[in-house]
Amino acid sequence: MTAAVRANRWLDAAAWRNLFRDRPLIPLTGLLLLLVITIQIADPGIVTLPWWGVIMRASVPLAILAGCQTLTMLTGGIDLSVATVASMAGFVTATFVNSPGGWVQGMAVALAAAALAGLVTGIGVGVFRVHPLIMTLAMSFVVLGFSNVWQLQMVQTGAGVPSQLRWVGSNLLLDVIPYSFLVFVPLTLLILLGLRRTGYGRLLFAIGDNPIAARLSGVRSPQILIVLYVISAVLAAIAGLIISGFTNTASVSLADTYLLPSVAAAVIGGTSIMGGRGGFAGTIVGALILTVLTALLTVLGLPEPTRQIVFGSIIVVVAAAYTRVTGES
Amino acid sequence: MTAASVVARRRALDAVAPWARRNGWTLGLVGFLGLLLVYTKLIQPSYDSSGIQGLAIGVLPLALAAVAQAVVVMSGGIDLSIGSMMAFTSVVCATMMKGQSQEFAVVVVLGVLVLGIVLGAVNGALVVLTKVPDIVVTLAMSFVWAGCALLVRAAPGGAAAEWLRNLVLGSFISEWIPKSAIVLIVIVAVIWIPVSRSRMGLSIYAIGSNRLAAFRSGIPVGRTKLFAYALTGLYAALAGLSLTASTGIGTPVPGPYTLMSVAAVVLGGVSLAGGRGGLFGPIVAVVVLQVIRTDMTFLSIDSNYAYVAQGLILVGVLMVGSFALMRRSRA
């Protein structure tokens, strides 16, 4: 009899569904492994420790930017200004290389500028209740404009990515562990613990789940949101520094291609764009999935157009599977 | 003054006042546009009919993109694949027209419009069937349509039929009335007026303002949503055609139209929450943004500040708008 019960449990769709809903990391990791196995079959011997190092190095900036989306999406928002803020940070830092203050001063200026942009966004979203989508979009226009102006001002001084950033962004320890983990691991711990263990993190979930209930229970949404968008902008700036080190370029449109994938990574990672559900751990796996997927499509030798089509289709399929499994409409 | 005339005048006022209140935002925009044009004439006395013509041709693609976005936003959705659909339809059009006769070009245009409806319907069907949030589906589909555009041609090229180019270039009757403005008005009116007067148009607003209530009143929510997306696809195809018509070629890389269309829709008084707004407001908003750009060129302000200005105007208008809304709801 016990055997029969056990067999039933394995076949019980509801139990599986609950598992997937409560522990989204399990199916996500499964999908990631499936992709890795496929790439290994497509090109035997490609999956080695250095290969993982390269994948992780490429995933780090995407995961941080997707972290911005995760945090804002938890409150029912979104941050479309991450790409321009990230590019701005990398670019501004690069223009300070030849100045007396050096790149450290540049980094300080970049982070301060990002925080200021986040503050304005936060005030717009939190105090004036402007839709986050449109507020962050407008902020991305403003930041892009100012970056362009800064570029014209700085055209004589010349710019270069500081070697320290290049080291952090592109070098691997023992060919496996990217040095960007020096930044990424503390950030990850901070976000994970911040979301799970602090009151602030819980309030983010509360605002996203039911803003009215949150307000009636005395949550000061404006303050929470202002801090949130400052955090998001600073995270985006850090990601931008890593991207400019990784690619060894500094331009005002450097991170533009990361914008849509960052939203996609957060969505694939199980964060609901409606707010109230999700987490950063899933997002990291989501970023890894997207990076491995891109690598797989390259290994398969598909031309760029087909790659884009497959990429988009897979995002739809995964998101649809998610919605089906979790039963959320 | 007799009592009768006072009553008559009050009646007229009573009829106009609600209309003005309902369309207050758009009226304000039109007024602002008028002021801007006067200001343009003041700072650049040589700004005349040719300037107006350039303006009308310049705004055509974005205005149609904004109309496309407005339809789907009113139904409570959002379409982040408009730019990619425009690129796809534009390259299909330019590629098929290359080296073909003028008559064949008519078939191409009709085919491209059908293609637009199909693209939009695919977006809508995916949103309805998968129940994934609109923004995620259309974001992913923007990759797919952009990929399709690159499949059709890897580099900008192709050609546009002579009559298609002449449709948007030049003026009509008076040199103050650019053809592209007429084209825009006709396209929007011919498609949108019958739709908005029909049951389907009302249903689009209904599912936008309250999905559940619409469903319980017997409105086929899924079918209406599909229709709204298909209509968005049609307008995106028209926007793509206008790109080919005004440039003479097809470019496979999506321009900044997706995000700009969202901005224009919001500036045009369409609520991102759905169920409110019209198509006229977004068009006026696109023209306003373009005139501001032109003015900054005349004032020889660094063109990069135009981006800053665009963003600040967007932020400022929205902050004032939502502030006014908050005060009204409190009062």
Query: Which of B132, B314, B315 lies at the smallest CB-CB distance from A319?
Result: B132
Distance CA B198, CA B231 (A): 14
Q: Quick count: other Cβ atoms within 10 Å of Cβ B244? A: 30
Q: Quick count: other Cβ atoms within 10 Å of Cβ B49? A: 13
Q: What CATH number is associated with residue A250? A: 1.10.3470
Q: What is the pLDDT of residue A172?
A: 72
List residues bridging with B171 in a β-sheet: B178
Q: Which residue shows structure tokens 């533009």?
A: A256
Q: Which residue has the higher pLDDT, B16 or B119?
A: B119
Query: Which of A264, A308, A323 lies at the smallest CB-CB distance from B139?
Result: A264
Find, in chain A, the residue whose alpha carbon is nearest to that of B266: A134
**Residue A172 φ then ψ, to 5°:** -120, 135
pLDDT band at B31 (very low <50, low <70, confident <90, very high): confident
Residues B180-190 have a mean pLDDT of 86
Q: What is the dihedral of CA B179, B180, B186, B191, to 10 degrees?
A: 160
Find, in chain B, the residue whose alpha carbon is nearest to that of A131: B272
Query: Which of B136, B312, B314 lies at the smallest CB-CB distance from A267?
Result: B136
**A255 within domain boundaries:** yes
Q: What is the pLDDT of residue B233?
A: 94
What pLDDT digit, counting tens, does each position of B197-232 carry? 888 888 888 888 888 888 888 888 889 999 999 999
Tokens of B69: 């976005």
Chain B positions touching A316 (Cβ under 8 A) are 126, 130, 132, 136-137, 140-141
pLDDT tens, N- to C-terminus, chain A (329 residues): 455 555 555 566 666 677 666 777 777 888 888 888 888 888 787 777 778 888 888 888 999 999 999 999 988 888 888 989 998 988 888 887 777 777 788 888 889 999 999 999 998 888 888 888 878 888 888 888 888 878 777 766 666 777 777 776 777 777 777 877 778 888 888 888 888 888 888 888 888 888 888 888 888 888 889 999 999 999 999 999 888 888 877 777 888 788 888 888 888 888 888 877 888 888 999 899 889 888 888 888 888 888 888 888 888 888 888 777 766 54
pLDDT band at B331 (very low <50, low <70, confident <90, very high): very low
- Are A280 and A192 contacting, i.e. CB atoms less than 8 angstroms apart? yes
CA distance A109 to chain B (A): 19
Specify the range with the lowest mean pLDDT, choosing from A269-278, B135-144, B180-189, B309-318: B309-318
Q: What is the pLDDT of residue B48?
A: 76
**A18 within domain boundaries:** no
Residue B325 has pLDDT above 70, yes or no: no
**A5 within domain boundaries:** no
Find, in chain B, the residue whose alpha carbon is nearest to that of A265: B136
Mean pLDDT taken over chain B:
82
**A9 within domain boundaries:** no
Q: What is the pLDDT of residue A156?
A: 64
Under 8 Å CB pairs connecting chains A and B tally to 150
CA distance B302 to chain A (A): 8
Domain count, chain A: 1
Provide the domain limits for residue A232. Answer: 24-326
Secondary structure of residue A172 in the 3-state scheme: strand
**A131 within domain boundaries:** yes
**A195 within domain boundaries:** yes
